Amino acid sequence: MTLGRVFLKNMFGTSERILLDPRLARCGQRSQLPPEYPRSGQPAEWFSPKLLANKGYQGLTFDFFVQWNTSPLVLTPLIWIKKILKAPHTYARLLNQLPQLVLNELGEPYLRLYSTFAKAYGLELQLLIFRDDADWANPGSTLLLCTIENTGGEISISGNEISISMLQELIRMHSGGPVKIGQKGLFWGTSNLECYLSVTDSLYPGDVDLLLLDGHGKPAAIIEFKKHTLDSPISEQKITNYYPYPDGRKYNRLAVLQQYLSGRSELQRIPCCIIYYPTKAGATKGRIEFLKGEYGKLSALAARNFELPENKSSEEFSKIIDLVQRGIAYYHQQAAG
């Protein structure tokens, strides 16, 4: 179908959103949210779609898989976007008007951005929709798995209801086999579903916090946001605190994504950086660190502290984007040298 923006109430007869973004909270106690820095906002605000557009960028965030049992590691050509279906809405009613409902909820620009990127880089794009009040330990619990395709500029959306057991089977298949993080699982998770999967052998895939695209739709940078919750100086934050242990898998997967996208773009290497940001009241600085090397061999190329936004204004947030731009330019200068 050719998508045109639908200016109407959603298919359930209400103007409220029914497909909600997952929210990071404590596993087993979803009312407890992680600490946030009150003055400067969060990175999602610093890199909002509007502010990025003002600088000639677009931003994507998605979940992706790595085949962990191969050598060398390879990316599974598939990306997932996840949304939570607000209670009491049902899958049956959603499936009855799926293309129109997804369009109405997410918007044509969003769908076109993601589907165009996926097609350009040989990736299948799927949307996971689930009621997060389900009992995920019950093998009969279900969710929706939808496929979004872009053929000649026309976007199609189809979907089916699958069981949690089938989802786990798909995760293991896309990950190259069982994948675990330990018996305790996650402390923080974006959903009850993710928390449940973290204590199984089908760990939900990790994500890219922000993939920055330039004005031509080409990857400009991969950005990881890292909270600093301790009292130690932000200047002590660095990749070697977390890599290769205890977060080797997290950063190796970003390096695999970097390698995959670089191999399908005009750039030999796409910059990858970490933005460390504090949660302690009174903090005034963050830190940005650009990485070099391939998976298994990542290290710091350059790092510096920066002033946190003094308030939640567009002017202050734009300074962070400008900082990233300068870092990207430096990265390419070093690569050329």
Residues 6+ away with beta carbon under 8 Å from 316: 40, 309, 310
Which pTM does this prediction carry? Answer: 0.94
In sequence order, what are the beta bridge partners of 315? none
- The whole-number pLDDT of residue 3 equals 43
What is the pLDDT, as a whole number, of residue 7?
38
Q: Taking a C-beta distance cutoff of 8 angstroms, is the pair 211, 59 a contact?
A: yes
DSSP element (H, E) containing 289: strand 285-292
Per-residue pLDDT, 4: 42
Q: Is the dihedral of CA 278, 279, 280, 285 positive or negative?
A: positive
Taking the chain (337 residues) in runs of 10, the rounded mean pLDDT of each run is 44 76 96 88 94 98 98 98 98 96 96 98 99 97 98 95 99 98 92 98 98 96 96 96 96 98 85 96 94 96 97 95 98 87
Residues 6+ apart with CB under 8 A from 35: 227, 229, 279
Domain ranges of the chain: 1-26+62-206, 218-337
Interatomic CA distance for residues 11 and 15, integer angstroms: 9
What is the chain's Cα-based Rg?
Answer: 20
Report pLDDT for 1. Answer: 47
Q: Where are the alpha helices (DSSP H) in 47-97?
A: 49-54, 91-96
pLDDT value of position 36: 84
Q: What angle do CA 320, 326, 328 make, to 5 degrees?
A: 105
In this prediction, residue 11 carries a pLDDT of: 52
